[in-house]
Chain A
Amino acid sequence: GESVGLHLPTLSVQEGDNSIINCAYSNSASDYFIWYKQESGKGPQFIIDIRSNMDKRQGQRVTVLLNKTVKHLSLQIAATQPGDSAVYFCAETAPDSWGKLQFGSGTQVVVTP
């Protein structure tokens, strides 16, 4: 079936550097994408979203890029901080799917001093 997956299971980043987390999706009908951050023992926290009519969206220290041609999504975190250490999930949904999200397997980001 359709799936959303991540390229890297673990990403180690030095504090202050920029982080890039990648995600591939296979459902060409998907039109809405979300990045979540999940800290240990907590529920996922919304970071940023993007619709398929856009290719870039920026938030506070985060940028999401969408390449529909190759079905690729990325999350960029600027000036990574220790508090950014967490598991990051991408998720996608298609029209007429009642908002059901398909989640990727997650990337563990570890920020080192």
Chain B
Amino acid sequence: SQTIHQWPATLVQPVGSPLSLECTVEGTSNPNLYWYRQAAGRGLQLLFYSVGIGQISSEVPQNLSASRPQDRQFILSSKKLLLSDSGFYLCAGTSGLDNEQFFGPGTRLTVL
């Protein structure tokens, strides 16, 4: 079965610092991968999705970027964090013909 790994689990960063969150997938190949952000007590907002290596689509304009250097690796980055980048970041993946998305455990980012 598919497993999504994310790290770190929590992160506290100062405003203006860079960011790199990593997501890796086990148990499947050629997955579609997604980055979501969730504000406290709110639903999930899709940030980026990728259908293959090097292919990134952005859903909303923002201070973040994503990259997919390997089939089962998805990275969320920022050159300079803003206070508004704080939130709970979730990576998800699908595979095959099924659209069922599996989620990772998330990264809690606090920008101070």
Contact = CB atoms under 8 A, between A and B. Distances in A.
Given A41-B108, A103-B43, A104-B43, A46 B102 contact: yes
Looking at chain B's contact residues, the main secondary structure is strand
A44 B42 CA distance: 13
B106 A43 contact: yes
Interface stretch (A58-66, A77-85, A93-101): A93-101
Interface string B89-106: 010001000011111111
A45 interface: yes
A101 B103 contact: no
A49 B103 contact: no
Contacts of A44: 44, 90, 103
A79 B51 CA distance: 40
A11 to B, nearest CB: 15
B43 A100 contact: no
A95 B94 CA distance: 14
B34 interface: yes
Interface of A: 32, 34, 36, 41-46, 49, 89, 91, 93, 98-101, 103-106
Given A49-B100, A99-B49, A101-B44, 5 more contacts: A42-B105, A43-B104, A99-B34, A100-B59, A101-B46
